[in-house]
A and B are shown apart, each in its own frame.
Chain A
Amino acid sequence: MLTRVALMAFYVLLLTPFALAVRAIADPMRFAAPPAWLPRDATGGDPTTRAKRRY
């Protein structure tokens, strides 16, 4: 339950204002980006640790 509340707070109080601010100066969704194959995001940690992450 605590995790849920913390996450809700994170998304509503932090992420939302942040995303709105970013959107005002950038294109976070790459709506207007030219076609391109993009490199995979770098991931840290060993394979098992990475596999246990939900993100």
Chain B
Amino acid sequence: MDVLGISCFGHDAAAVLLRDGVVVAAAEEERFSRTTHDASFPALAIDFCLDRAGIRGADLDYVAFFEKPFRKFERMVVTALASFPHSRGVFQESMRTWFTDKLWVQGLIKDRLGVPGDRILFSEHHLSHAASAYLCSPYDEAAILTVDGVGEWATATYGIGKGNELRILEEIRFPHSLGLLYSAFTAFLGFAVNEGESKVMGMAPFGEPRYRDQVYKLVQVEDDGSFALDMDAFAFHRSPDQTFGARFERLFGAPRDPGTPFFTDRTGYPAELGPPPDDVEARAADNQRFADIAASIQLVTEEVLLKMVDHLHRQTGLRRLCMAGGVALNAVANARILRESPFEELYIQPAAGDGGGALGAALWAYHTVLGQPRRVSLEHAYWGADHGPGDVEAFLASSGIAYERPRGEDALLDAVVDALAAGQVVGWVQGRFEWGPRALGNRSILADPRRADMRDVVNAKIKFREPFHPFAPSVPEECAEEYFELPDAKRHYPARFMLYVVDVKRDKRAILPAITHVDGTARLQTVRRETNPRYYRLLERFGMATGVPVLLNTSLNLTGEPIANTPAEAFSTFSRSGLDMLVLGDCIVTKPIVQAG
């Protein structure tokens, strides 16, 4: 039985195809359309899924959409009316988009895929999140927590999964939203909502939570983790482009200008910006305020989540927890939940945000609606498109690009290890691209984490990221405990998907300066031999050559672009950046780029 899951019209549209309950393909639309966080109907991702399964749309047994469009529309209308006349702009905007597209998703699916209406199912937004977390976990029974910006009405839910049944018990409803609270601070700190949340997380360790009490003036929290926002401070419910209001600014001061360079007294003025301006001290103090605000909202978010999780544990008495929703991508909070909550194990799948709703909807349709038994858990994230040796060589030959093809994998890995150890930065493209927002060793930029200057090298030559946005390490799962504070690392699924920020061991911080953040932490990825053998062997060989089996791993893209999918996109990133080497499957391209003669 083939079930297609679809999520779209929020952010990060995606499609997932299940065959008899097993994932065949899963991808976000942005990887194909090349539009970052593409929210449109995921026609290209659907085509990829169908191709991968060798079927046509009309062959699908069911299509599952990740939310109830009419309920969401109801929320938009009621919100707009409840905030009238301030909401005039958001009302007009939502009428335009909803009446042209979003309400008619059933017709869209019928037209595009040729699937009859009675084979199209509609999950609920948070039910899809819950299903995406629990139904692909390895657990037979678990508590479930979903927290994000907003779905139809719910912004957070908790429940229980048992066998193939899902039961959501209670929820918190819009406009009271932990995700939207965090996003308001994301916008205040000068970052794009739905994209810059990880930058807030990265900025937080540069500050102290001095504004914690002010944040709690915006959000009233009970011991059970339920909360209510002071809506006088926010604008997201009545404005299409504003998330916070005047009261918010009275509490925290003027918002950060997105173009402002970030430096504090502690970091010093960045040398690459030239001589410091006359008002350098005032600017450093202002940046410190922003870092303190970031630390405060991060701390409050963690405290609310811990209260929610404690309440969930008291309600269910279970020892395993599955989490989903955009807030479950907060890897610092996840690690605190693991360390400080009563739950012994966590499962979070790699696309925990809205893209993952496609996976959840498909799993919910197959297991919960159709009553089919669960068979496998999601062990890895490599469900996207791949491009075999023929495709790679055809691309290189047709583009006239000179390349080397080492004899066998050992020679290939040796060449890459030599380059990395020599301080080169390598683009690494292997197999199927990753499901979710993280590059996990198949569309990655790799570098030597032992070099203190490597963070600046990768930033200056390739990623152009803010200095407070740390780079992540990959490590074979057997070696993780030697370098990171994650006992029994093998059993932690979120660590496979870069969803925990943990301490780097004190005696290893000086060895791994390029991936150790200012507070001594790192967002590690544990790599398994069974699920990514070539990347595992690369780490192993790098360890043999240098004594440290750890690599700096960041996504293969330039700022503002989606992660590369095809060899042509990887080569485009390579040619427009300071990458020294590009590995495309078995082929190596180096700089200067030479035209094949």
Contact = CB atoms under 8 A, between A and B. Distances in A.
Q: Of residues A8, A23, A34, A37, which shows the largest number of chain B Cβ atoms within 10 Å of its Cβ?
A: A37
Interface string B350-370: 000000000000000100110
Interface residues of A, number: 30
Interface residues of B, number: 48
B170 A28 contact: no
Given A29-B82, A54-B69, A54-B106, A37 B224 contact: yes
B121 interface: yes
Contact of A35 (B64, B69, B99, B221): B221
A51 B81 CA distance: 28
B239 interface: no
Interface in B85-107: 99, 103-106
B70 A55 contact: yes
Interface in B306-335: 311
A33 B122 contact: no
Contacts of B82: 19, 23, 27-29, 31
A6 to B, nearest CB: 12
B220 interface: yes
A35 B220 contact: yes
A36 B123 contact: no
Contact of B77 (A11, A30, A40, A51): A11
A54 B68 contact: yes
Interface string B71-86: 1001001110111100
Contact of B231 (A19, A31, A38, A54): A31
A4 B103 CA distance: 9
B173 interface: yes
A16 B369 contact: no
Given A19-B82, A54-B70, A37 B170 contact: yes
A52 B172 contact: no
A20 B99 CA distance: 21
B129 interface: no
B52 to A, nearest CB: 25
B234 to A, nearest CB: 10
Interface in A1-55: 4, 7-8, 11, 15-16, 19-20, 23, 27-40, 47-48, 51-55
Contact of B173 (A19, A30, A48, A51): A30
A40 B151 CA distance: 14
B455 interface: no
5 contacts: A16-B77, A40-B169, A47-B369, A51-B122, A52-B121
Interface of B: 64, 68-71, 74, 77-79, 81-84, 99, 103-106, 118, 120-123, 157-158, 168-176, 220-222, 224-228, 231, 237, 311, 365, 368-369
User: Which 5 residue pairs of A and B lie closest in terms of their CB atoms, listed nearest first?
Assistant: A55-B70, A37-B170, A19-B81, A35-B226, A51-B121
Given A31-B175, A52-B122, 4 more contacts: A35-B172, A47-B369, A51-B369, A55-B74
